[in-house]
Amino acid sequence: MIGAGLPVGHKQYLFLFSLLAMLVVIPAVGAEVEGVRLWRAPDHTRLVFDLDGPAEHKLFTLQNPDRVVIDVSGATLSAAVDNLPLTDTPIAGVRHATKNKRDLRVVLDLKQPVNPRSFALRRHEALPDRLVIDLHDRDKVEEKTIEQVQVSGQKDIVIAIDAGHGGEDPGALGPGGLREKDVVLAISKYLQKSIDSNPGFSAKLVRTGDYYIPLRDRVKKGRQLRADLFVSIHADAFTRKDARGAGVYAVSSRGATSETARFLAQRENESDLIGGAGDLSLSDKDDTLAGVLLDLAMTATMNASLDIGTSVLSSLGSFTHLHKKKVEQANFSVLRNPDVPSILVETGFITNPQEARRLRDPMFQRRMAEKLSEGIVAHFTSRPPAGSWLAANASRIDRKHTIARGDTLSGIAARYNISVADLKKANGMQTSMIRVGQTLTIPSG
């Protein structure tokens, strides 16, 4: 109140009032929702509001009928919401209105109840401030982890294939609108097929469609699957357009082995800023935990990762240019799993116009997948884990070996513990000539 002793006229009162009103209202005239996007994942639906600035929001649910209500303080909506792909989602319709003359209220009419969760993502590079609403499906029978009673000696070798990025995180962008998330999903699907064609192997996709999975959930999935290997597939960008070649990476808690490795790890770890990790403070905790685990228990896992990486690299080397001839190491979040050997494969640089052309070609994608598969299968075949079907049957399976640079016939024979004569016989060879890329049958003992 204004002091009683001060003589204040009517007009002055009005002036003061409008001044006060302006002071209150102006900062609240806030964000504009410029875009609304929607992605459907197997277990949840994600809505993203693109804002031209940060805004506070509240979310709550109502029943009979089921609705989710999102109030965004001081916001207006300029984006269309009637063209969202609602098929296969729990959302029947989207309505919006202005509340208290200044807030935006968005109502999602539901076909069935959901468990909603929301969080804000701050502006990041070209991406605007965003409000993310995840609607988790209810009553979904928890996806059965591979927990079938494993008859001793019958366990499949499980490969978890993680197609990088997805949903609102497109990954690196190439010429002509080529997106990393699409290329790597295609390669991952071919890879699954190729691995599954080997007896004793079972491949699972971590991401099956176009949606985002936070990095730590990808790692968790690998553990839930009790995977023998987690392989993350990427096709990245580099600051230099002429950077080219495939590369294989493993995690390191210490420094990166090269500038490229450090750069790529930084980029990949940014994924959660783009796609959203939900609660970023939690992932900080994970960092500390991962640091401790890395030091204590990860040495064996890291060594296995390097071994598998080497086998994959040698298989790739027979088919495509390699960025580096050795498995490189850097601190990739997605590879930090103390229990599961994990590698990250950069299939090529999407920013290099020549490689982009190949990466979009389904023939190349399939061939790349087959080479990755060969490298993975070769590793486990030469060292089948105890208790696996492969270990029990190794002596009865013919194996394949693709010639890499530097291979010799006697070297290959020694590696598989067979004679050069048997090797030549199994492949109908008259001479000891071999060429890079040629696939040999390794006869069973």
Q: How far is the CB of 268 from Zn ion (least distance, A)?
A: 5
Q: How far is the CB of 225 from Zn ion (least distance, A)?
A: 21
R_g (Cα) of the chain, nearest Å: 27
Q: Of 420, 385, 386, 418, give the one whose Cα is nearest residue 399.
A: 418
Convert residues 185-224 into a mask of x (bound to Zn ion by CB under 5 A) and - (unbound): ----------------------------------------
The one segment of 13-21, 60-68, 228-236, 237-245 that binds Zn ion by CB under 5 A: 228-236
- 342, 166 contact by CB (below 8 A): no
Q: How far is the CB of 164 from Zn ion (least distance, A)?
A: 4
Q: How far is the CB of 274 from Zn ion (least distance, A)?
A: 11
Q: Of 268, 160, 292, 290, give the one whose Cα is nearest residue 214.
A: 268
Distance from C-alpha of 60 to C-alpha of 68, rounded to nearest angstrom: 6
Q: Which is nearer to Zn ion, 61 or 269 (CB)?
A: 269
CB count within 10 Å of CB 146 equals 14
Q: How far is the CB of 169 from Zn ion (least distance, A)?
A: 9
Q: Which is nearer to Zn ion, 334 or 378 (CB)?
A: 334
Q: Which is nearer to Zn ion, 336 or 379 (CB)?
A: 336
The one segment of 83-91, 115-123, 235-243, 411-419 that binds Zn ion by CB under 5 A: 235-243
- 443, 412 contact by CB (below 8 A): no
Q: How far apart are the first and last CA of the chain?
A: 96
Q: Which two tokens stand for residue 198?
A: 């080997």
Angle at 200 between CA 166 and CA 381, to 5 degrees: 95
Q: Which is nearer to Zn ion, 116 or 166 (CB)?
A: 166
Q: How far is the CB of 162 from Zn ion (least distance, A)?
A: 10
Distance from C-alpha of 177 to C-alpha of 99, rounded to nearest angstrom: 39
The one segment of 163-171, 310-318, 401-409, 415-423 that binds Zn ion by CB under 5 A: 163-171
Q: How far is the CB of 347 from Zn ion (least distance, A)?
A: 10
Q: Which is nearer to Zn ion, 164 or 174 (CB)?
A: 164
Q: Which is nearer to Zn ion, 47 or 359 (CB)?
A: 359
Distance from C-alpha of 209 to C-alpha of 224, rounded to nearest angstrom: 19
Q: Which is nearer to Zn ion, 68 or 233 (CB)?
A: 233
Q: Which is nearer to Zn ion, 234 or 401 (CB)?
A: 234
**DSSP secondary structure of 367-435:** HHHHHHHHHHHHHHHHSPPTTBHHHHHGGG--EEEE--TT--HHHHHHHTT--HHHHHHHTT-SSS---
Q: Which is nearer to Zn ion, 128 or 164 (CB)?
A: 164
Residue type for 375, please?
G
Q: How far is the CB of 371 from Zn ion (least distance, A)?
A: 19
- 329, 253 contact by CB (below 8 A): no
Convert residues 123-162 into a mask of x (bound to Zn ion by CB under 5 A) and - (unbound): ----------------------------------------
Q: Which is nearer to Zn ion, 68 or 235 (CB)?
A: 235
What number of chain residues touch Zn ion (CB under 5 A)? 4
Q: Is 171 in the site for Zn ion (CB under 5 A)?
A: yes
Burial (CB < 10 A; 0-12, 13-18, 19+), residue 118, is middle
Q: How far is the CB of 181 from Zn ion (least distance, A)?
A: 8
Q: How far is the CB of 41 from Zn ion (least distance, A)?
A: 19
Q: Residue 280 — φ and ψ, nearest 5°?
A: -70, -25
Q: How far is the CB of 309 from Zn ion (least distance, A)?
A: 17
Q: Which is nearer to Zn ion, 164 or 309 (CB)?
A: 164
Q: Give the nearest residue (CB) to Zn ion.
A: 234
- 204, 158 contact by CB (below 8 A): yes
Q: Which of 90, 164, 200, 341 binds Zn ion (CB under 5 A)?
A: 164
Which residues from 387-426 bind Zn ion, rule CB under 5 A? none
Distance from C-alpha of 337 to C-alpha of 331, rounded to nearest angstrom: 12
- 155, 147 contact by CB (below 8 A): no
Q: Which two tokens stand for residue 415?
A: 């590696």
Q: Of 19, 52, 31, give the one whose Cα is nearest residue 103.
A: 31
Binding site for Zn ion (CB under 5 A): 164, 171, 234, 236
